[in-house]
Structure 1
């Protein structure tokens, strides 16, 4: 797996201790039996059974684990060591690669029917890397593949950015991706001003 020798720190990394507890919060919800699989249900509906799925920024593993349970071939990748540790503690059988999106080489990991970037991944990227990340997502998709992307359009946690819908669409289109759908939730509500769920495809 290729790993850059130097790179700009992500907004998540720069926030440091301010984001501690994120993984534990979701682990507590899992322990209480709460429904934490909303994103996974939509992802599952976008692909046939047994699809290849990559979960980029898999966090504490809840989406990747749910998709694995639904019969998909899932690759999870999470650069934050604390979140990987939480993932191991909650989902011991889920293997998680320690790489960010730009370190994922299609020649090594292959290509996928679906790429998942949920949990506000896009608003915590390193400054100025949004188009590079979206381009890499496109590289990781089979010709008919799609990407499921979800994030708040306004900052919600320390370090996150404002990412207006029109800017995101322009960034996606600039690297050969097009918007197939935009929703306001993972239950396919109509678009709203504060949160966006996107389904993207290659041009």
Structure 2
């Protein structure tokens, strides 16, 4: 695969450094950091093949693994990969961004190469490289098994400073261009009504 353009996360540099520390502190304090993971678990049959794309420090993938699913996590940030492997040592983490997740790369993990559910939460889609939104969504769609779905979520406003602003209209247009459809939209992982602060999306192949 040719060299990939730098993601907005990579370009954010030190501005992103507090992410892993913040969630490590929340875990130490016993806070609930698994809202996204509970929704994902409810969407999947027990033992489902799940890809956590942009897995960060591993909190979603680690939870889903403990629920009995077959989970592969992918995270390109070396510091977050190390934190994930330390915090959730049983979770398989591939040090790759989404566009690099070919079946050949996934096969190196010894796990599945297609998935019943792809989880792409925590603003991941607002941190991909500029102009790669549609190819990223196409790659996620290509990794779905028949009947598979995607759970995605990101801030509509008030998100991280190094992330892009991604309006619902732009996102819906990009999903259509990638061969996906929006099945559901919510305002959060508690499945509250749509608002203009945050968007949770459930997608499937068109």
Q: TM-score category by the smaller chain?
A: over 0.9
What's the CA shift for 1:27? 1.1
Please list every run of at least 4 consecutive aligned residues from structure 1 whose deviation after the TM superposition is greater than 4 angstroms.
none
Aligned residues of 1:124 and 1:161 also touching (Cα < 8 A): yes
In the alignment, structure 1 residue 139 sits paired with structure 2 residue 142: yes
**Aligned counterpart, 1:89:** 86
Matched position secondary structure for 2:185: strand
**Alpha-carbon distance in 1 for matches of 2:102, 2:3:** 16
**Aligned counterpart, 2:195:** 192
- Equivalent positions of 1:116-135 (< 5 A) are 116-135=119-138
What's the CA shift for 1:106? 2.7
- Equivalent positions of 1:95-114 (< 5 A) are 95-109=92-106, 110-114=113-117
**Alpha-carbon distance in 1 for matches of 2:159, 2:148:** 30
What's the CA shift for 1:36? 0.7
**Aligned counterpart, 1:50:** 47
**Unaligned segments of structure 1, at least 5 residues:** none
Quick one: which of 33, 38, 41 aligns to 2:35? Answer: 38
Quick one: which of 19, 22, 39 aligns to 2:19? Answer: 22
**Alpha-carbon distance in 1 for matches of 2:82, 2:142:** 28
**Aligned counterpart, 1:154:** 157
What's the CA shift for 1:201? 0.3
**Unaligned segments of structure 2, at least 5 residues:** 107-112
**Alpha-carbon distance in 2 for matches of 1:89, 1:75:** 16
The number of aligned residues is 200
Give the RMSD, CA atoms, in angstroms.
1.1
What's the CA shift for 1:5? 4.0
Q: Which stretch has the larger CA shift, 189-198 or 87-96?
A: 87-96
**Alpha-carbon distance in 2 for matches of 1:75, 1:124:** 20
**Alpha-carbon distance in 2 for matches of 1:70, 1:95:** 15
TM-score (norm 2): 0.94
What's the CA shift for 1:93? 2.1
**Alpha-carbon distance in 2 for matches of 1:16, 1:133:** 21
**What are the Cα deviations for residues 178-197 of structure 1, in whole angstroms up to 9, with x where unaligned?**
00000001111000101100
What's the CA shift for 1:11? 0.5
In the alignment, structure 1 residue 183 sits paired with structure 2 residue 186: yes
